[in-house]
Amino acid sequence: MDNRVWERLPDESLKAWTAFQMYRDLGSVRSYSKVAIALGKSPATYKRRLEIWGSKFSWVKRCRQYDLYLARSSSLEKIRPDEYAKKIETYRSETEKMSKAMVSMGARAMQVLQTELVARLEREEKLKPHEISVLIKASVYAVDVGSRLQSEALNVDKLVSLLAEIKTQSP
């Protein structure tokens, strides 16, 4: 379904669409009986027609999407750009710290692997293949996670600068 599933569907009749709009706009107190009354019809006889349309045109699902849309819109309006920018900057800073720690941890794991290899070679003792595999995987994983976090922190930097630009342009 389209992002705006609460809009009129191509095969939805004008009567069904009008009834759906009433149903949709009732919000948390939605019912077929209330729609029937609003249309000036008897709930006892018209409710079945509304149920058929509701089922055929997925009224409940469409209303759920509409409600989510309204909730998101309302919560986004409550966030001021400067507050949002501060939250993003805090997130970026924490992510950058974490990425540096992960890269450092990966580099340290590689040093441990190298030291262990040298020590075992001097004792003419070999690391078992699974030990080498585990150490290498841990090192690579830590560096990979750290690098991805660093990349994310850098992209957040772009978002912070865009928000600052928008803030300076708005009245």
- Angle made by CA atoms 85, 86, 92, in degrees to the nearest 5: 85
pLDDT at 113: 76
Name the more confident of 48 and 99: 48
Looking at residue 27, the DSSP 8-state letter turns out to be: G
Q: How far apart are CA 41 and CA 50, in angstroms?
A: 11
**Is the torsion defined by CA of 21, 26, 30, 31 positive or negative?**
negative
Name the more confident of 6 and 158: 6
pLDDT at 128: 79
Residues 15-73: tens digit of each pLDDT:
999 999 999 988 888 999 999 988 889 999 999 999 999 999 999 999 999 988 888 77
pLDDT at 1 over 50: no
pLDDT at 45: 92
pLDDT at 163: 65
Mean pLDDT, residues 124-143: 77
Mean pLDDT, residues 89-95: 74
Mean pLDDT, residues 91-118: 78
Highest mean pLDDT among 80-84, 88-92, 128-132: 128-132
Among 57, 73, 48, which Cα is nearest to 6's? 57
Domain-by-domain residue ranges, the chain?
14-78, 81-169
